Structure formats: structure tokens, C-alpha cells
Amino acid sequence: EHKSIVIVGAGVSGLALGNFLLSEGIDCVVAERRSREYVEQRQRAGVIDTRAARVFRKRGLEDRVIGGAPVEPRLGFRVDGEIRQLEFAADDHRDGRFCPQQVLVRNLITVFEQDGGDLRFDSEVSVEDIDGERPRVRLSDGSIIECDFVAGCDGDRGATRAAIPGDRITRHSHEYGYGWLVVLADAPGNHQAMMAIHSRGFAGQFARGPRASRFYLQCPLDDTTADWPDERIWSELEARFGEPLATKGTIIEKQVVPLRSEVYSPLSHGRLHLLGDAAHIVPPMSAKGMNLALHDADVFADAVVHYYKNGDPSLLDGYSATRLRDVWNYQAFAAWWTDTVHDAGDPTHRGEFRHQVARADFERLFTSSTANRLLGEFMAGLN
Ligand code: FAD
């Protein structure tokens, strides 16, 4: 069997890429190790930024794949209990959407199949000969697909990046020194989105559809979920937000995640190209993980189309450098924003100097239209 492109992984990057290529008539297959049910129910991100929404519009897919309420051009904060509302220029934010990741994934699967796409679930992939002219992909049922290019869209723990020889790829990483207790609850929160900057630590609450919410609580790296019984989660959220929660609901998932940034370089090796979490990780505070994955898919799809339509590999050759410029720009934003909202609250973690600097950075967003505009551009994905 031969395909032009084998896409490994049916997450947002793989499914978006599959749809983009299919709409351009490029033959491809998406192979995913998990079941369809598993992938369609995996709750993660919740915001599609303006740039990513415009990618779907440009490709004629916006109405079929994006759902959810428009992103409001504001962020709600509680700073030691005091309400602070940060407003942004509405133009930059008009196209962003609150769209839970699993809704986007479900829609991308539906559209891909309706349009005749080849999508194989329960197919764990390994890759061979990525250096050669004809890379091969082996599926768990024993079948082998030859292809021109492999798109590694298989996330942080996938098989494709691991197939690159260690001396041909470099991992650049940064640990923030704290973790988040990430909680998914079957309960609407008090707000669409709210973040607390507090001396007890950062807290966040984000709607995930009309009935569910994600809550985040800054915690020490060595905390485990055993340190966080449900009652402690609710009382700590109320302490950091400075208000009682209207509904507490059922906690359906909790985990402690260390906050970290990671970039792999280069993003291409031979005929393998990495996209999404396989290529880079940003801390969740930036809300850019899903969006960078979609931006990668857009740029990579253009490069592939250019190659097949014009016989010109220059965009494919430049894919890594093009994306790394953008990825580092968003890592810079993610690192600054993550540290700012944590250090502005908690003076113990990095000391009084960083605390005061972070407070100054935060206050500038309300007093300087230039600073405010820049944050708005990053949030919209337009910087
Ligand atoms: P994934 O969605 O991880 O997809 C990779 C796929 O590859 C998976 O389906 C996996 O099963 C499959 N796979 C792996 N190995 C193989 C193999 N060998 N063969 C076949 N298939 C394989 N981002 C935001 O923008 N905003 C947020 O608010 C946000 N919140 C988050 C909250 C949580 C709790 C988590 C975990 C992440 C969050 N993210 C957020 C990040 C975002 O979810 C990821 O950046 C995004 O899913 C990356 O998409 P991807 O397609 O690269 O990878």
C-alpha cells in the first residue's frame, strides 16, 4: 500500500492536517493507536484563538468544525479577592471561540469521514526508513504503508519523534518549579472564565461547555492527588477566589501536572516532520497548546500542497525554521505570562523581588494601552 502522506495520531494536529490535505485532493491516511470513543471523549483545551479560527475559515471548514460561544475580549481576575477586569481591543478577538477540544476533535473526525478520508483507529504505528526516499509505517495489525512523507502528530509520548536519532534532534526545556492541580468537574462555574492571583497561589476556573468546568490550583511539584481530597479543592478555590462557589458538583478527574515548556529542534528529519505536542509543549496558562498544533497543521499543509502542485520542496525544507520562529515567540509569551500570574500572587515561590516585578508587569496591562495590546495579540495568536 502507498500513500502520499501518513499522519500518525488523530489529535487536533493530525485530524486538522488530514482535513486540510483531503480538501486539496492529497491522498493521506490518519492512523491512531486509541479507539474512536477514547479520542472523542478526551477533555483538554477549550479555546480556539483567532488565528486558528481563521485557518478553518480560509480552508472553508469553519462552519463544519468549529462550535461554541465567541471568545469575549476580556479576562476576569480576582487579585487577593478584588475584582479586576482586563479588557482587550475587540477586533483582535472577534473570531476566537470557546470550543472544547473534544468537540473540535469529534467534528474533525465527522468531516474527514464524510469527505471520504481514510482514518484508522486502534492502529499503533511505528516508523521505519524516515531517512530514505520511501519511509515505511508499520501498523499494529501488521500492515505496512509506504509513503512520501510522515507527519508526526502523535503527541509528547509518540513514536515518531522517538525514531529520530538522538544526535539529530535537541530538546530545549524549562521547568517553572510549580505544578497545577488540574480538576475537571461536572458543574458550571460561577463565571465563563476567572483567574485568581492570590498569596495562597494561582487558581483558575474555565467553562467547558454549559455543564462542566476546569479548575486549576497552583501547588507544589511534589503534591499528589492524595493531598487534595475534594473538600480541600473546593475550600481552597473559595479562599483564592474570595467568593463561595455556586455549585460544587462532582469531581470527575484530578491530576497534578508540572508546568513546563519544551521545544524540539529541528522539527524535521529526513521525510519525517513533527507537529503539535510532538514538537513542542507550552504551559497550560498560555492556552496555546492546541492552537500551536493547529498553526503547525496550517503551515505544513501549505508546504505539502506546494510540493505536490508545483514540484517545489522549498516550503517543506523551510517548515522547521518557519515554525520554530513562531513557536519560540509563543514560548516567550507563555513563559512571561505564566510567571507573571504566579509570581504576582505568591511571594514565597521566587521571593519579594520577582513578586513586585510581576505585580508591575500585571498592573501595566491596565495602565498602558501598548502593553495591553501586546497581550491581546498573543492571546489571539496574531503577534
Ligand atoms: P494530541 O492531541 O495529544 O494527539 C496525539 C495523538 O497521537 C493521540 O490521539 C495519541 O493517542 C496518538 N498516538 C500517540 N502515539 C501513537 C502511535 N505510536 N501510533 C498512533 N497514534 C499515536 N491547550 C490549549 O491550547 N489550551 C488549553 O486550555 C489546554 N489545556 C490543556 C489541559 C490539559 C489537562 C492537557 C493535558 C492539555 C491541555 N492543552 C491545552 C494542550 C492541548 O491539549 C495539546 O497541546 C493538544 O492536544 C496537542 O494536539 P496534538 O494533536 O499535537 O496531540
CATH code at 284?
3.50.50.60
Domain check: are 246 and 104 in the same one?
no
Q: Tell me if 89 is assigned to some domain.
A: no
Domain check: are 123 and 207 in the same one?
no
Q: What local confidence, expressed as pLDDT, does residue 249 receive?
A: 86
The response to whether residue 12 sits with its C-beta less than 6 Å from ligand 1 reads: yes
Q: Residue 251: which domain range? A: 176-260+345-380
Domain check: are 127 and 273 in the same one?
yes
The response to whether residue 254 sits with its C-beta less than 6 Å from ligand 1 reads: no
Mean pLDDT value across residues 235-245: 95
Supply angle C-alpha 227, 230, 233, rounded to 5: 75
Is a pLDDT exceeding 80 seen at residue 289? Answer: yes
Domain check: are 240 and 288 in the same one?
no
Give the percent of the chain with pLDDT over 90.
87
Coil, strand, or helix at residue 248?
A: coil
Sequence-separated (6 or more) residues with CB below 8 Å from residue 195: 75, 76, 77, 78, 202, 203, 204, 205, 341
Identify which of 34, 37, 49, 154 to mutate to test ligand 1's pocket (most ligand atoms within 8 A of the CB): 154
The response to whether residue 155 sits with its C-beta less than 6 Å from ligand 1 reads: yes
Sequence-separated (6 or more) residues with CB below 8 Å from residue 94: 50, 70
Domain check: are 278 and 331 in the same one?
yes
Q: Tell me if 15 is assigned to some domain.
A: yes
Distance (angstroms) between ligand 1 centre and the Cα of 278 equals 9
Stated as kind and residue range, the H or E segment containing 294 is helix 289-310
Domain check: are 368 and 330 in the same one?
no
Domain check: are 285 and 228 in the same one?
no
To which residue does cell 508545483 refer? 310
- Nearest atom, ligand 1, residue 290 CA: 25
Bridging pattern class, strands 170-186 and 125-128: unpaired
pTM: 0.96
Nearest protein Cα to ligand 1, atom 53: 155
Of 319, 337, 355, the last residue of a domain is 337
pLDDT in tens, 295-339: 999 999 999 999 999 999 999 999 999 999 999 999 999 999 999
Q: Tell me if 190 is assigned to some domain.
A: yes
The response to whether residue 183 sits with its C-beta less than 6 Å from ligand 1 reads: no
Domain check: are 253 and 370 in the same one?
yes
Confidence of residue 75 (pLDDT cuts 50, 70, 90): very high
DSSP 108-143: HHHHHHHTT-EEESS--EEEE-TTSSS-EEEETTS-
The response to whether residue 294 sits with its C-beta less than 6 Å from ligand 1 reads: no
Inter-CA distances, 187 with 30, 192, 287, Å: 34, 12, 21
